[in-house]
Amino acid sequence: MLGPLRSNVEFAETLIKHLKSPIMKKKAQLISISSKLVLFHANDLLDLRFLQTGHFSPTFSNGSLGLAIIEIVDLV
């Protein structure tokens, strides 16, 4: 179900690596960030469904607060 969205993220990451123009690279980064955000929310909805049915087990991961703030500013 979320495969096409994951493909979009991977494609944007590939573009970022291969584009030479800073402007186009920035646009590809925005596509990547936006796609990851939509994927994050879709996963949250799936987690909510599992929580409602009693089949939820939380997982934790490390992240960078600074990078998250930069991505939010870029999106806005």
Kindly report, residue by residue over 30-69, the tens digit of the pLDDT. Answer: 999 999 888 888 888 887 877 778 776 777 778 888 888 8
pLDDT for res 47:
78
Instruction: Kindly state the tokens that stand for 27.
Output: 């646009």
pLDDT of residue 67: 85
Which pTM was predicted? 0.62
pLDDT at 53: 82
Q: Are 24 and 37 in contact (CB under 8 A)?
A: no
DSSP string, 15-41: HHHH---HHHHHHHHHHHHHHHHHHHH
Neighbours of 8 (CB within 10 A): 17
* Segments making up each domain of the chain, as ranges: 3-75
